[in-house]
Structure 1
Amino acid sequence: MKVTTEKPEPGVATLTVELPPEDFTTAVDKALTRIAGRTSVPGFRRGKAPRNLVRRQVGEAAVNEEAINHLVPESYDKAVQELGLSPIERPKLSLVQADPGEPLIFTATVALRPEVTLGEYSSVEIEPEVIDVSDEAVDRVIAQLRESRATWEPKDGTVGADDMIIADIVMDLESDPESGNRRTERNGSEIIIGKNGFPPGFDSGVDGMSVGDTRKFAVIWPAVPRTAENGETEVAPREALFTVTVHELRYQSLPVVDDEFVKSVSEGQFETRDDLLADIRARLTVESLRNARSRTENKVVDAAIAGATFEIPARLIELEAHYLEDEERESFARRRMTIERYLQLTGQTQESWHAQLHEAAERQIKARTLLDAIVEREGLVVDTSEVDREVAETAASYPTDAARVRKELNSADSRRRISTSILRHKAIEKLVGYVGGYPEPTTVTSSELSDGQSHSEVEETPSE
């Protein structure tokens, strides 16, 4: 058997396999035996008819086809083993020559497992992350806490910034000429000026109105992708005509940050403003540190990717992109939103969204390939106890269904996936170590970080 290999594109191999005539002759003999065993010839028991009668009954072409259908896949598998290739899917086979007495020649084109040539990943450099929770970040949390306990009180005068109006709204949105404008009516809507989701121009349109006033005004609805008559995607703004009648006007009354406020938001855990501020700062630091560690990991992986050379079949990237698309569609479906609606709201097109998925898919494949290669280069290993610990911790997070989760995670496939995940994270930790380690906080003491779970009602938002 002679085999030559070409690479028509990255990550794809085309094998040209040539088999000597005697191999084809042997394959034909075996094919004829198999056919005779399942063919009935008048006057003979099945499998006992002379081979020439069987050949005459089924035809020469059927015998040759049977031989080729067995010989070609078997020869392909042998060629792959001899060359040490790692295909990720079945090949596309094409018969080049199969004439009696001549060598049998076929080609096999197949996508291969991604390959990487590692760069000098131990000397990569990244911009270090700085953990520094600002006073402004703490103030924003205090503002959120005050807003969460604010009340809306009746207001005299006219509509201004941050006020709430209770109003009837009629909106006529410009549509295509055939279907006409699209009308939406909402009665008794609570609308906060500056935080209502209406397009720019709405807030200024109601500015200065008083209770009992009715006002009409037009705003330009932001451009969103639409399909034109010729099937192409076009982006065009539309006019929206609003009719607003104000029934009530209110202002937001924010509580004073005094001792009573502190006791309320901390459920009695803290007595003074300083105690609350220290708790908020510690929690923001923990969250900021967590995010900084994640960004550091992404940075070192991206830096190592940039210094490496990859061979990835385009087909694999497409499959990964389709997988990511399915995940996003399922995620939006759980939130009762379609991808099409999401694209409209964000001003994206199908093309730009698919380009983002394609880019993300390629990055994920490169990251996995890179980390697996580093695991092998560094000789990293994972022992059974590490997998057991991961299984136990994951199962514990499902207290009402821990037994079932533990059983599923202890299957051979699941344990193999967990082991791979642990090894890849060890590779990331190696990369982080080469750039000096993970970032450390600079504005909070270790005792504050280890203080445990906070009791103040504040979302853990990282500082900017």
Structure 2
Amino acid sequence: MKTDVEELSPTRVKLTIEVPFEELEHAFDVTYKSLAKQVRIKGFRPGKAPARLIDRYVGRGAVISEAVNHAVPELYNEAIQKEEIFALGQPDVEVTKLEDNEELAFTAEVDIRPKFEVKDYKGIEVTVDNATVTEEQVDEQIGTLRERFSTLVGADRPVEDGDHLSIDLSASIDGEKLEDVAVSGYSYEVGTNTMLEGLDETLRGMEAGGEATFKTTLVGGEHGGKEADVTVTVQSVKVKELPELDDEFAQLASEFDTIDELREDVRKRMADVRRMQQLSAARDKALEKLIESVDIPLPDAVVDEEIDRRRQSLEQQLAQSGLTKEAYLESQEKTEEEFEEELKTGANSAVKAGFILDQLALQEDLSADQGELSQYVFEQAQRMGVSPDQLAQHLVESNQIRVAFTEVVRGKAMDVVLAGAKVTDEDGNVIEQEVVEASDEDAVEEAAKAAAAAAAEVSEDEAKDDKDEDAPKADDSK
């Protein structure tokens, strides 16, 4: 087999492959065996008809076409491996020469990952926010905890912001009562402004048993957008009573005996969270700097595919939340043009980051073993709220194991970058990086068992998967 490679651009190549017919012997053997099982020739059992009779029965041209369709994917994969080409996606294949018993020639155009080396990935300097926890922040967290243990008690006074009311509402338009716009015993906190415009202003100063009417524009429903007279009746007024901030509260709200112990635990937990936020921010900023330091061309088709994936993901999220794209853009204060530009920028960064981390993994000779893949499955399952074995099964059934494997390896490449980075906070303090061990060994073990078969499949068939991923299908041949 002879292969010539023409670089159409830094991200696309054209392979011209010429194969003597004698090298197609295996493809013809497979084709004859397949056709022999399909045809029925008198005097021969299924699968036993000789090649010359099959040629005569189905036609030599059909046999050659079938053999070529079988041979082209294997020949293409052999060529890209021999030429060390990192192909992306399916190639555009065209058979240019096909002469019986002489030669098969075809071309294959395919996007490729650009050739480059990651050089400046050690010693990246990044600055993250301070992790200092102030007394005011501890007070705020303690206050939130007190809110959870608060009680509502009746108040014999005019309504104020923050009061919790039980109210009845009714509405009318031009004196005609709206039966479908009425509610009784509705719990409402004054000052939140989460209902009708003008309601909070009307409620302030009222007392239990009081009634008042105000004009407002109805929202939603059959009468949405219409002005109506709304009558509100206050059934009860209650105020939130917080527990005293003492040792008794600490014992009620936690496993600690004193309020000082509770405060110290809150401070420690907040510091741990801040530290994790620091490391996460450091990781993101280090990747941003790495992306900025590497200048490589990106295949348009790969970027377009990432843009489409991101757009579809957002549309699914909006559909699930019941929002329209227009409402989303309004909430984000973005125009359609700004949204599209942001989508394109994000897709370019994501594709570029993937290329860089893949190359760095090659340079550092990184891979993923069964335990690491299992840990990934466990962590993803936790985020998704499913069991590890369910997620592992889904990955296998949807042919996403390779994606999981790639994500693990890219994560390890990013670990290399972060380990060599200099991370400091705003005050110049160096942030030490520690390896966080899995906190739930039983759950990790469950994930390991669930993902074992999938991980083994990736490890054993890695080379085969690379071939299958990039192989052109029979329908791609022209």
Matched-pair contact (CA < 8 Å) for 1:285–1:441? no
Secondary structure of the corresponding residue to residue 62 of structure 2: helix
TM-score, scaled to structure 1 = 0.63
Alpha-carbon offset, residue 417 of structure 1 = 8.9
Alpha-carbon offset, residue 294 of structure 1 = 1.2
Matched, 1:269 2:269: no
Matched, 1:215 2:235: no
Deviation string for 1:76-126 (max 9, x for gaps)?
A: 233323321233544332334557799755332334457664252224332
Deviation string for 1:183-212 (max 9, x for gaps)?
A: 654431111123464477653454444443
After superposition, the Cα gap between the structure-2 partners of 1:276 and 1:242, relative to the gap in structure 1 and judged at 3 Å, is farther
Cα distance in 2 between the residues matched to 1:380 and 1:344: 44
Alpha-carbon offset, residue 304 of structure 1 = 0.9
Matched, 1:92 2:92: yes
Matched-pair contact (CA < 8 Å) for 1:41–1:54? no
Cα distance in 2 between the residues matched to 1:414 and 1:140: 44
Between 1:414-423 and 1:366-375, the stretch displaced more is 414-423
Matched-pair contact (CA < 8 Å) for 2:378–2:388? no
Residue 282 of structure 2 aligns with an amino acid whose one-letter code is T
Which residue of 2 is the match for residue 129 of structure 1? 129
Cα distance in 1 between the residues matched to 2:420 and 2:171: 59
**Residues 338-417 of structure 1 mapped to structure 2, 5 A cutoff:** 338-341=320-323, 346=328, 347=331, 363-378=349-364
Which residue of 2 is the match for residue 234 of structure 1? none
Cα distance in 1 between the residues matched to 2:353 and 2:284: 10
Cα distance in 1 between the residues matched to 2:129 and 2:98: 64
Which residue of 1 is the match for residue 143 of structure 2? 143
Deviation string for 1:402-455 (max 9, x for gaps)?
A: 9979x99xx9x9999998767655543443344324769999xxxxxxxxx9xx
User: How many residues in Structure 1 have an aligned counterpart in Structure 2?
Assistant: 406
Cα distance in 2 between the residues matched to 1:442 and 1:302: 20
Which residue of 2 is the match for residue 243 of structure 1? 230
Deviation string for 1:256-277 (max 9, x for gaps)?
A: 324433443334521x4x4443
Secondary structure of the corresponding residue to residue 289 of structure 1: helix
Secondary structure of the corresponding residue to residue 122 of structure 2: helix
Cα distance in 1 between the residues matched to 2:179 and 2:58: 69
Residue 238 of structure 2 aligns with an amino acid whose one-letter code is R
Cα distance in 1 between the residues matched to 2:215 and 2:8: 64
After superposition, the Cα gap between the structure-2 partners of 1:58 and 1:31, relative to the gap in structure 1 and judged at 3 Å, is farther
1:283 to 257, 262, 269: 269
Secondary structure of the corresponding residue to residue 160 of structure 1: coil
Which residue of 2 is the match for residue 192 of structure 1? 189
Cα distance in 2 between the residues matched to 1:374 and 1:281: 39
TM-score, scaled to structure 2 = 0.62
After superposition, the Cα gap between the structure-2 partners of 1:191 and 1:417, relative to the gap in structure 1 and judged at 3 Å, is same
Residue 211 of structure 2 aligns with an amino acid whose one-letter code is D
Matched-pair contact (CA < 8 Å) for 2:170–2:232? no
**Residues 55-70 of structure 1 mapped to structure 2, 5 A cutoff:** 55=56, 58-59=58-59, 61-70=61-70
Between 1:261-270 and 1:77-86, the stretch displaced more is 261-270
Residue 243 of structure 2 aligns with an amino acid whose one-letter code is P
Which residue of 1 is the match for residue 286 of structure 2? 300
Deviation string for 1:354-405 (max 9, x for gaps)?
A: 9877766655554444334334434568889x759969998xx9xxx99979
Matched-pair contact (CA < 8 Å) for 2:146–2:242? yes
Cα distance in 2 between the residues matched to 1:317 and 1:295: 25
Matched-pair contact (CA < 8 Å) for 2:213–2:232? yes
Cα distance in 1 between the residues matched to 2:356 and 2:90: 24
Matched-pair contact (CA < 8 Å) for 1:24–1:104? no
Cα distance in 1 between the residues matched to 2:363 and 2:148: 53
Which residue of 1 is the match for residue 460 of structure 2? none
Cα distance in 2 between the residues matched to 1:119 and 1:415: 30
After superposition, the Cα gap between the structure-2 partners of 1:25 and 1:220, relative to the gap in structure 1 and judged at 3 Å, is same
After superposition, the Cα gap between the structure-2 partners of 1:64 and 1:383, relative to the gap in structure 1 and judged at 3 Å, is closer
Cα distance in 1 between the residues matched to 2:92 and 2:107: 8
Residue 152 of structure 1 aligns with an amino acid whose one-letter code is L
Matched, 1:254 2:242: yes
Alpha-carbon offset, residue 300 of structure 1 = 0.8
Secondary structure of the corresponding residue to residue 188 of structure 1: strand
Cα distance in 2 between the residues matched to 1:19 and 1:363: 40
Unmatched 5+ stretches in structure 1:
173-180, 223-236, 444-452, 454-464
Cα distance in 2 between the residues matched to 1:183 and 1:61: 75
Which residue of 1 is the match for residue 445 of structure 2? none
**Residues 161-200 of structure 1 mapped to structure 2, 5 A cutoff:** 161-169=161-169, 185-195=182-192, 197-198=194-195
Matched-pair contact (CA < 8 Å) for 2:170–2:230? yes
Which residue of 1 is the match for residue 154 of structure 2? 154
Secondary structure of the corresponding residue to residue 422 of structure 2: coil
Which residue of 1 is the match for residue 4 of structure 2? 3
Supply the RMSD in Å over aligned alpha carbons: 5.6
Secondary structure of the corresponding residue to residue 91 of structure 1: strand
Unmatched 5+ stretches in structure 2:
173-177, 430-438, 440-478
Secondary structure of the corresponding residue to residue 168 of structure 1: strand
Cα distance in 2 between the residues matched to 1:327 and 1:143: 38
After superposition, the Cα gap between the structure-2 partners of 1:91 and 1:424, relative to the gap in structure 1 and judged at 3 Å, is closer
Cα distance in 2 between the residues matched to 1:184 and 1:319: 48
Matched-pair contact (CA < 8 Å) for 2:128–2:426? no
Alpha-carbon offset, residue 350 of structure 1 = 12
Identity %: 23
Cα distance in 2 between the residues matched to 1:246 and 1:30: 88
After superposition, the Cα gap between the structure-2 partners of 1:136 and 1:112, relative to the gap in structure 1 and judged at 3 Å, is same
After superposition, the Cα gap between the structure-2 partners of 1:240 and 1:442, relative to the gap in structure 1 and judged at 3 Å, is farther
After superposition, the Cα gap between the structure-2 partners of 1:326 and 1:402, relative to the gap in structure 1 and judged at 3 Å, is same
